[in-house]
A and B are shown apart, each in its own frame.
Chain A
């Protein structure tokens, strides 16, 4: 069975400061992990994905995430927040099995203060 936990329902940072959005997962398989972003009234946009290659994954808009198997974590970071980063972020785990389903975390809303 799979599960994913986003540890913070909302995070508030000041523009120009680092962003950390936390995600822990559990999986009985070697999972694929994703971060998606959803801007207000918009669809889901893929930020980055981990698929058993490099453990440090770089995504779009300066985001990156590190897969840590020992900690079962896949935290999303960005060195310097921008106002346009304000959105909802979803950590997603997806196994590779037939008839599988993808599990979404509950989401973390990021607020960026000027």
Chain B
């Protein structure tokens, strides 16, 4: 079964550093998402991306965050200057409308900000 692949699986960074989390969505999917889950809390929506632009974002997704699809396959989440509270598991997901809806999540990237 097709998978969404995320790298790295775990990243440790110093506060104030830039971090890029990478995702390879399922190849024929057109909608892409980032979610995050702070330890012990609910999974929260960050942003959705369609047709090379952000289609929706939550209040969490402030100017420190950005997304892009630089090469038609990777979908990245950049955090410009990490804060302690950015420590979380970040999930990428992709979605394709092909007869039945299939929203597929990656295994997640754990970000630890020290």
Contact = CB atoms under 8 A, between A and B. Distances in A.
A100 B42 contact: no
Interface of chain B, main secondary structure:
strand
B93 to A, nearest CB: 7
Interface stretch (A12-20, A42-50, A70-78): A42-50
Contact of B42 (A51, A101, A104): A104
Contacts of A107: 42-43
Contact of B103 (A32, A98, A99, A106): A32
A101 B105 contact: no
Interface string A31-45: 010101000011110
A53 B101 CA distance: 11
Interface string A70-108: 000000000000000000001010101011111111110
SS of A interface (majority): loop
B55 A98 contact: yes
Interface residues of A, number: 26
B25 interface: no
B87 to A, nearest CB: 14
Nearest to A107: B42
Contacts of A98: 50, 55
Contact of A42 (B55, B93, B107): B107
3 interchain residue pairs of minimum CB distance: A43-B107, A99-B55, A43-B108
13 contacts: A43-B106, A44-B108, A49-B103, A51-B100, A51-B101, A51-B102, A90-B43, A94-B95, A99-B50, A101-B33, A104-B45, A106-B42, A107-B43
Interface of A: 32, 34, 36, 41-44, 46, 49, 51-53, 90, 92, 94, 96, 98-107
